[in-house]
């Protein structure tokens, strides 16, 4: 059961990662990256590291995403090549 969950999570995370690379919209990329972190925290929980899971969830997916969004807000009008 647990391996299946992990594989499922892994597939979603990889998809999100590739999406984050190829999304045209920066906003979508940032959110995807946040999703990766959020799912990573589930994996940490499975791997017996609740401390890391909490940290990843709050810092990795929470704060980092917010900081990205703040930065994005500040450069909103920036031209984007991809």
Q: How far apart are CA 12 and CA 33, in angstroms?
A: 12
67 is a site residue for other proteins (CB under 8 A) = yes
From the number of C-beta atoms within 10 Å of its C-beta (0-12, 13-18, 19+), residue 30 rates as buried
Q: How far apart are CA 10 and CA 40, in angstroms?
A: 9
Site for other proteins in 10-39 (CB under 8 A): 10, 13-14, 17-18, 20-21, 26, 29-30, 33, 36-37
59 is a site residue for other proteins (CB under 8 A) = yes
68 is a site residue for other proteins (CB under 8 A) = yes
HEC profile of 53-73: HHHHHHHHHHHHHHHHHHHHH
Contact set with other proteins (CB under 8 A): 2-3, 6-7, 10, 13-14, 17-18, 20-21, 26, 29-30, 33, 36-37, 40, 43-44, 46-56, 58-60, 62-64, 66-68, 70-75, 77-82
């Amino acid at each position: 059961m647990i391996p299946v969950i992990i594989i499922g999570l892994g597939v979603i995370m990889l998809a999100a990662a590739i999406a984050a690379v190829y999304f045209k919209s920066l906003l979508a990329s940032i959110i995807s990256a946040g999703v990766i972190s959020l799912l990573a925290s589930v994996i940490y929980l499975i791997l017996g590291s609740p401390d890391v899971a909490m940290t990843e969830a709050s810092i990795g997916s929470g704060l980092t995403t917010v900081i990205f969004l703040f930065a994005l807000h500040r450069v909103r009008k920036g031209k984007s090549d991809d």
